Amino acid sequence: MRPPPRLMPAIITPFTESGTIDHEAHRSNVADLWEREVYGVVIGGSTGEGPYLEPGERQMLAADARKAAPDGFVIVGLAAESLRAAEAMAAEAAEAGADAVLAMTPTTLVRHRIDLVEGFFSDLADASPLPVFLYSVPRVTAYELPTESAIRLAAHPNIVGMKDSGGDPVRCVSIATSAPRGFWMFAGASAAVAPSVAGGAHGAVTASANYAPGLVAEVIAAAGSPEAAAPHDRLLRLSGAIERHGVAAVKYAATRTGLRGGHPRRPLRPIGVTEAAEVDAALEEAGLLA
């Protein structure tokens, strides 16, 4: 597998008001990000409303991204509770020409059964036609893939990296430095990017890279240097003000900074006037309003 870029957005999925995917808007977003020197995207993650995507939609979104940025690095998120469903999603991603898949931790019937959770990832990696990234996102799943499990799974030849969205840079660095050489570790929480990268993580896959890719890139580039504090603090204030309002606020912020956010898919709803004003204020303070 070719090396992934250090910065990738957990890209939003633009839906129409009726809930169908706006493919033209999605292609436009990928192309626009490419013009901003963002050379990879993660499709169908939690910010991309991956748990709400239907069969076949991942394949179409990945194919759209490949069409919009032929040389871009494309990772497709898998939100599956069964191995059978995850394998089907991975096959869709491969058919669309994706580079890798990002598999969310299953929880429904296996929560706290470490043997079954690890078995899910190991079996998926055995069967997947594409390299597999682990995805721990406890805010969504209410379960964190244990550090020891991630390190053990990193030894699998087809498990090539991880996105950790728990927000603990110490854990992120521990996995990054304990995994085999060539394991691509990504911080998934904006607040953890600077310390994680400074400690050895490869880069960041964040919601904030939809609306502030330049700032996230600046944080990555400065990580570990005396100049790191200023961009880190700016990103911390900005992402905190926006992302506390959820995915719909990220889509609104992306729209206000030049992308086409579209509508969220129900049961999510657009943010209200008060929340929109708070997002606008944060973007204006950061100098990012389009």
Active site residues: 163
Print the SS3 string covering the chain.
Answer: CCCCCCEEEECCCCECCCCCECHHHHHHHHHHHHHCCCCEEEECCCCCCHHHCCCCHHHHHHHHHHHHCCCCEEEEEECCCCHHHHHHHHHHHHHCCCCEEEEECCCCCCCCCHHHHHHHHHHHHHHCCCCEEEEECHHHHCCCCCHHHHHHHCCCCCEEEEEECCCCHHHHHHHHHHCCCCCEEEECCHHHHHHHHHHCCCEEEECHHHHCHHHHHHHHHHCCCCCCHHHHHHHHHHHHHHHCCCHHHHHHHHHHCCCCCCECCCCCCCCCHHHHHHHHHHHHHCCCCC
